[in-house]
Chains A and B, each alone.
Chain A
Amino acid sequence: MSTTVRYKNSVERVYTDGRDIDTEAGDLTGEAADQRASGSTDKHLKEQMQVWRQAPGPRTGDPAYYNVPMLNEPVWEWAIPTYYYVGGLTGAALVLGAASQMGDAGGRKELIRRCHWIGLIGAGISGGLLIYDLGVPSRFFNMLRVFRPTSVMNMGAWILTGAGGTAFLAVVLRGRENRFGAAGEIAGYLAGMFGAGLATYTGVLTANTAVPVWQASRRVLPILFGTSAMSSVGALFELLGGKGEERRLTKIFGTAGQIAEFAASVAMEKQASVVPRVGRPLKKGLSGFVWRAAMTLTAAGLVLGLIPKPTRRRRLAAGIAGTLGSALMRASVEHIGTASARDARASFQQQRAGYGAAEIARQPNQ
């Protein structure tokens, strides 16, 4: 790769592959010899790093290291928040599907079928998004290489596999007039269980990190994600324009979700701001704006949906607002995390305030 160095008095450009070893003369077999370096710079380092413009010297009382981020920020791009949305939608739909299987489900046949299909397609898209985001996509199946309960992502991989698998069986088998039909019925229920996990584990995944704002919000994030998943299902069915029982049912489910989501958002803001510096990304900057926008959209969806005598148009608007609100909420959580990771003082102040490891010591049951 090449990089032009800001030196105007040279004729030649600079070329380097990062190591510049003549492999006829020297061997490249070290541990990281095959680490690819097509760009000269660690991208994240470059983005974060700004030339320090002051005379050095840590601030007394509240020191930091040239405001360099202490943590590494998430490397996830749009695919992961999208996955949060799609996965949540998938999971919540499967839960709804399973619930709909209960009792006399005759009138909800279409709803159940739709839920299972959403589960199957959603799981497929989810897998696709995850593969897309991996640094080394070809190694996607390594996710199932081990069963590691300490890793929320590993659990998530098994859950997603389970959800996708059972949704597939439910779609294929359910409703058949034989033993397979019964298996399909069971698969549907199992899918509901996996779905509940799928819709909420991503909140655990986010919470289980060193990113201060996420860690501080860990008791809310799964609820936020779960409730948001419910509202996405509600919003989606508004868009799909279901009728009758399906419509009533999803409306109740979605509205409950939206109300809860809004409440969870408010709770999260409060939780995260116990240490003010930690909560800052929720209130300030672009991340704060996105967060507010998501909340507003969710609220708008809720209000639009609650106005009596809905029109097709209004239902569409409510569906769009709800969908956007849900999706944007996931994106904003991602964004807030990035902003938080970039702020070394968020971690420092959080830990100094007793919300590092000290917090665990204060909880005797842990």
Chain B
Amino acid sequence: MAASKGFFTDTTLCIGCKACEVACKQWNQLPDDGFLFSGMSYDNTVHLGGSTWRHVAFVERPVPLNTQTDGAFSWLFSSDVCKHCARAGCLESCPTGAIIRTEFGSVYVQPDVCNGCGYCIVSCPFGVINRREEDGRAWKCTLCYDRLRDDLVPACAKACPTESIQFGDLDELRAHAKERVEQLHERGMPEAYLYGASADDQPGTEGLNAFFLLVDKPEVYNLPPDPVAPAKKVKDAWLAAGAAAAGMALAAVGAVFFGGHRA
């Protein structure tokens, strides 16, 4: 198995150009997501979806960043992507085996297997994977599985003009990201932190293979503050199901016992 690969998206380097969105569409030959004016700053793709595997969020805040020497305003950009979680909700919920863990540690949907059951869609704690109505199958970022097979960098990371999207071996990325946060703290940006860089940061997913450096609350970027792979809690439900099944059996037997022979 090859070393685990992933993305480190450093939002302090993002200029919101959306090259990643287009490079992704180009390489994967995805269709557009509709020509809808959202009114949400410069974000007209709004969210990740079946046909949008990279999405840049635009956050207009009435507070400055600490590195800005003046002003009472800041504009944050963040290129969102499938997180390829170490514990991936979609993967664990997929009933067909269409979603697999690859040799690069990424989570991949096999379009030739997926039957479009839609279960992964509600199982993703980040709202990443989605179906396109006319197509029926579930789609999301593949971490450019095809490119990785040939030692190529994923299309978005390659296109990114400012190295906001960094691709590489996960261990190295994590080490680098840690240094980067320290560097930013030194430079007077104490608000910088890593999102999902490790299992410690994000126990619910046991760490993201595509993690982020953020400068505001995750919610500001439409990211959950404490996501959890649903299967981590499923034991409770199975126990309840067991109890319900037992109760039902008991009720049935009871009904037979009490309702049976009296007549």
Contact = CB atoms under 8 A, between A and B. Distances in A.
Q: Do chains A and B touch in the complex (CB under 8 A)?
A: yes
Interface of A: 3, 5, 16-19, 21, 28-46, 49, 51-53, 56-58, 63-66, 68-76, 92, 95-96, 98-100, 102-104, 107-108, 130, 133-140, 142-143, 145-146, 148, 150-154, 156-157, 192, 196-197, 199-201, 203-205, 207-211, 214-215, 218-223, 225-227, 229-230, 244-245, 248-253, 256-257, 260, 337, 341, 344, 347-348, 351-352, 356-361, 366
Contact residue range for chain B?
35 or more
Interface string B81-111: 0000000010011111110000000000001
A152 B120 CA distance: 11
Interface in B204-263: 204-205, 216-217, 219-228, 230-241, 243-249, 251-256, 258-263
Contact of A63 (B37, B39, B219, B236): B219
Contacts of A99: 249, 252-253, 255-256
A21 B32 CA distance: 12
Nearest to B92: A150
Contacts of A256: 251, 254-255
A64 B113 CA distance: 35
B244 A225 contact: yes
A211 B234 contact: no
A31 B111 contact: yes
Contact of B129 (A41, A72, A154, A257): A72
Contacts of A33: 28-29
Contacts of A133: 117-118
B117 A209 contact: no
Nearest to A245: B263
A51 B247 contact: no
Contacts, number: 417
B259 to A, nearest CB: 4
Given A51-B39, A99-B255, A230-B251, A151 B92 contact: yes
Interface stretch (B6-14, B42-50, B182-190): B42-50
A75 B122 CA distance: 8
A153 B240 contact: no
Nearest to A33: B29
Interface in B118-143: 118-119, 121-139, 142
B2 interface: no
A42 B232 contact: no
